[in-house]
Amino acid sequence: MTDKEKLFAPLPPDAVPVADLKEFAEDVAYQFGYKIGYNGRLHIGTGGLSTLEWAFDILGWDDPHPYPEGECEWEGCREYASCGTPTAEGYKRVCGKHLAEYRKRANDERTI
């Protein structure tokens, strides 16, 4: 039996509930998936790693999978939001480039 056949085989009564398995697979995909630009938007991909491929299969995701919630919140930026900062508009998740811009603006406002 292949891994994929095992994945879709009937589960024994004492197996992990499907909802828990999907939640775990999603956590694995978001934590360890490769953040990549694809068709002008942020996506996550498996990078050919079998554990991530299995997680994507469990979730029914294409590889790469769109990841708009991981994008920088700076208007028009589609980079991965690897940082966060409080702003006048509330907390923002931003890329490193725009974190520096927010900090520069905050410093400029304090010196005025």
pLDDT digits (tens, 9 = 90+) for 24-49: 999 999 999 999 999 999 999 999 99
pLDDT, tens only, 51-71: 999 999 999 999 999 999 999
pTM over 0.75, yes/no: no
Contact 82, 108 (CB under 8 A): no
Q: Which of 16, 82, 68 shows the shortest CA–CA distance to 37? A: 68
In 5-101, DSSP assigns E strands to 34-38, 41-45, 65-66, 83-87, 90-94
Q: Are strands 83-87 and 90-94 parallel, antiparallel or unpaired?
A: antiparallel
